Structure 1
Amino acid sequence: MKALGAFFSELKRRRVYRVAVVYAAVAFVIWQAAEIAFPALNLPDWALTLVVVLTLAGFPIAVVFAWAFDITPEGVRRTTPAAASPAVMVRSAVRARRLAAAAAVVVLVIVAAWWIWGRRPSPASQLSPNRIAVFPFAVRGGEDLLYLHEGMVHLLSSALDGAGELRTVDPHALLSGLSLDEGDAPDPGTAAAVAARYGAGLYVLGSVVGSAERIEVTASLYGAPRGARTTAEAVPGRETDIQDLVDELARGLVADLAGRPGDRLASLAARTTRSIPALKAYLAGHRALHRGDMLGAIEAFENSLALDSAFVLARYELALTAAWEGHGVPARQAVVRAVQDSASLPARERRLLVGLDAFLRGDLQRAADSYRRVLGEYPDELEANYMLGETLFHLSSTHGQSMQRARAPFERVLNVDPDHLYSLHHLAVLALMRGEYVVADSLIERALATEPERWLVVCLRTNRAMASGDPDLRTAVQNDLPTVENLGLFCSMMTSTWIFKDPADARWVVEALTAPHRATQLRAAGHALLAYYEAARGRPSQVDRELVEVDRLYPLGASHRAYLSLLPLAPSDRSMLEERLREVEAWDVASLPTSTTALMIPPVEVQPAIRLYLLGALSARLGRDSAALAYADRLEQLELAGGGDLSATLAPGIRAALAAAHGELEEALRLLETAPFRGHYEEVYTSPVISMAAERYLMAELLDAAGRSREALGWLASLGDLQAYEIAYVAPAHLRRAQIHERLGEPEQAAEHYARFIELWRECDPELRPLVEDAEARLAQLREQT
């Protein structure tokens, strides 16, 4: 230890420390200067490496010289050793030289490695595909345009930054690292290396040619690190219009970069607005929509339209987002305005607008035709495939068709964009409905990997918990439901009802709507749904307990009691029906508070139609023909504030029920087959009246009576697929399907539906027990036969 201490004292005495520090500082300055100067002098990359190696090699030499020599007023002199014995002096000197050299090499290697590592080009895997570097433009023309050499870096970087997910390299940082002759631009290889240094996977090179009276600005977009050019844009104009030229150039570049794979809308949007701020707001909304941030998307689209009111695609996506949030009136208003302003759009996008307008109005045929016309010419069009999937998923049931028809278009979306969030979710739901749990779990995992908003995460996890039966997963989801936003509750409740159609097993999801901290109207909707869940289990005796809560929270109990009394197999005697009729007559829809719970409670604008329908349906069931027909007439004449074809379907429904009651089955069937079966997209989920569930059940009965039993089975299968209130029809539909299959000589299918009916009504009220016992007897007989 004494020797080592003496050694360090000797290093200090001989000024070795000072020399090492000064040498390292000078070497660092040399490296920095070489890094800036060598590219400007067009020296090869190995020249900079050579400088580093030479300075590294010189460091131990400088340290050794510092040990051996000293600079004095008389000149360079050999350093005089400290007093010691000759043998000790020799050994100390040798050891000191070795240690000094080794320490010097280690220190310099560490410093050099740190410097080189910090300035290495980013590997391709670390280059951001959304980071873009704009380099100085080459200027060819009058000297008065030379300011655009570096000026274009600032102007175009500002225009591109924040367009969608694009982020630009700071112009000041970029320019400080370049040394170019005035008016010159770097070559693609140099630009690629510098862009990679800043982690930019994209870079722009360009030129300005001409004079103040007429200039042409050209920009080429490259992908680092190979320097492959992906697109070029040229814009002519005058110097006084330079900002407009830059904006047009930026829009052209963004058009080739915006959006996800196959996302034509985002690309087209860049060419359909002249406002860069409006485009940036639109792309922010587009990105928010595709991760499930509906409120953020609506705000961004509204900001975009405030900046450019003629921006049709922003209005289109505003309509779509508002619809997903359940705001039907503004959604339909937005799409109508978009259709009116769409003359400048290509035919493909105009058809998408027509399709969305039809979809929001519940017009299955017109919407599907619009999207299929696009796909006939462009089979891989992402938006048309996606919206065709949405149309078939949400509207097929209203026409007695299977939701599974939506599977093919959603799968085509994933062929173009494997991470399309909503297609993954819809396909997972469809797979769960088919009982393909492994497939569904894989799709759910892929959807979760896209990192969607929390409401959708909770919905996906609810679906997974219901499918797996995992008690721990269910407990985790139950802990999530109290704090998730309304859209997450709605999605969880609705998909669980569609998929499993089990009112006993899914009750815990619906109960989350009734939590005391939830909004009053949402709690009312929750209790109303619980009443239908009780009816779905064959327990009408439990219905009133829930509807009392509904009346306390939001006065809709009368409408629900009336509707539930009209259900197939419901034990309703004449006195009960007359009581329900008096309650609906006394129901004051004009005093109802405005509905604030989208997708859960019918808008107040349609409540008069619901009231007239219930009055007509109850009158028809009581045999009061003239009153029923009068209500149907009034319903047809009613002008709904939100427009639509609801009355045109519900009025024939009353007349068909009346005709069927009198045995006029052909007339009843004609009335329903000519009815439009259309309800506004978001309103359909709020009431079984608007989803036309009773008319769809009656349609199945009439088709079966007409010998069209296969068609009848499709209509029966659709009940419960469209919205949660329809769960009350699932057990009666299973019973009728069992009876039809048995009559068609299909015992296995018949047994399956008898068994499902028995399971759903296993805890039914005593007065309904004979229906279950009869089904059990039929099931036992079928099993004996098979």
Structure 2
Amino acid sequence: MKLHLAELSRRGVFKTLVAYAIASWVLIEVSDVIGGAFLQPEWFVAAMTTLLVLGAFPVVLLSWRYDITWEGIKRDTSRVDDEVERSARRISAFLVLFLLTVTTALWVNYFLSHSENELENLVQSQLGAPEIGEDGRIVSMAVLPFDDFSPEGGKQWVADSIADAILHQLSQNRDLIVTAKTSSFGFRDSGRTAAEIGKALGVQALLEGSVQVIGDRIRVTSQFVRTSDQAHIWSDVHEATIEDWFDIQDAIATKVTELILPHSRPEDQRGGQTRPPSLEAYRLLMVGRDLVGLSDTNDEAVKLIGVVVEIWPEYADAWAWLAEARTKQMRLLYESDTASRAQVREARESRDEALDKALRLDPDNPVALIRRGFAGSGIAGLGKLHDALSRVWELSPNDAKVLARMAGLAQYSADYPLAESLIGRARIVDPADYEIFESSLWPVCGRDPVTPLVEKQLDDYPTTPVNTLRM
């Protein structure tokens, strides 16, 4: 054995392996330190380590056959006993095999633990309402659609607008999980109890209410209910003129925040969307928003929102939604066989003008920021999109669509743990969104059964024929 080791030493195998190990270690450390500056994916260092370990085998073989001298690389032509050579090769192979075994074990352990965490997180996102802690603190809630109790009826849009605005304002606080409108408004007239809704949405409390509009007066009744025991934590009645109902929604949102986050600072709860110039402007924009994106009504949305910005040119939200409608119009024109380049150019220029005006009036307008981000192209465009989404995420930490888009960017850059974390958060905020649900399945598809999750999703949340077919 000593003779065999001596031959390996004479040929410089050990010296070469030590030098190779040191160089590999330096390369790994440098890559780990500077990787963040180059958006290096998390798996890069592990993959490079594996390749360097695999590279040890050819290094051993080459160091056995060749010597590095001042005159260059020369082949070692000296003869040794055949038994010594075979033993030396066995020792070299053993060293490489040992390194490969250790590396394989580390990779298997990584994937197994990662898979367990993925499945655990996914299953956890399907569970019902979390238990309230010993201190009774509430960290998750949903705003249900308010009922219209107006004597003459026809004011459901006012009730929905108030509930939507309260939800939006509450969702600005990053210390609170607020279920998205897509999920909470799906329980309109469902007949379910607060406990059942809380379990389905995974929240600890619900805000519900009703609206009465009589003449130019509005009366809003609201109550905050704990889902675990259906106890009413708080209730109140607000009255004002119809034009002042924005003050009512602010008062309700502020009171709920004080109840569940008594130590929150004013900067933790941002003001939400800018106030509309008038109730009529808001109503028309709500009608136009519902028409945006549909192939048979999008042109009507462009016209209606165009009227809004013409009458109220300082309405930032209207300009942002005009840009949305123009973007959809561009896509429809691209798909049309009869559209001209001039029409496409006009739609693009109108979109850009609307975006400029929206961001000039409100630099933090989320709709305009995201649309501006998507307007780019190439690597630079991805960077702008990332910056736009990050800014909106900072302003609206409970925006499920933004979380899902951020997850898509993270997955595109191969940062899979971040992508999983973001899509998991989006799933918690908006459990009824079928697109987000579908995206949340990718970590376990092909490895774990997803049929039970799909069946539970279809049972718990309203769906459409299209979503049913997708599932």
TM-score range, shorter chain: 0.3 to 0.5
Q: Which has the higher contact order (CA 8 A, sep 6+)?
A: 2
More helix by share: 1
